[in-house]
Amino acid sequence: MPIYEYICDDCRTHYERIVMSASQEIDCPKCASKRHTLQLSVFSAGKSANGSSSSSAASDSGGCCCTPNSCGCN
C-alpha cells in the first residue's frame, strides 16, 4: 500500500494518505476539500547500524540514483 503526499488546492495544507485503491476518495484533513495535487515524494537511502549508507552506490552519488550533477541534488 503506497503512501502518497498531497497538497490541498484550496487551503494549501500538506498531508499524506495511505491509498488502498485507485477509487479511494482523498480529502484534506484541514478543510475537507477533495481538490488536491499529488506531490513527488523524496526518499533517502537507508543507514546501517554504524551510520553509513547501506549501499556504496548511494554514498558515491549522494543518495540519489541519478548520475553526478545531472539532477542538481549534488
Structure confidence by residue, pLDDT tens digits, 1-55: 788 999 999 999 999 999 888 899 999 999 999 999 999 876 666 666 666 554 4
Higher per-residue confidence, 65 vs 46: 46
Give yes or no for residue 66 having a pLDDT over 80: no
The pLDDT of residue 59 is: 45
Vertex 61 angle, CA 74 and 48, to 5°: 115
Evaluate if pTM is beyond 0.95: no
Strands 3-8 and 14-18, by their bridges, are antiparallel
The pLDDT of residue 56 is: 46
How many CA atoms lie within 13 Å of 7's alpha carbon, on the beta-carbon side?
Answer: 6
The pLDDT of residue 57 is: 46
Cell of 21: 485503491
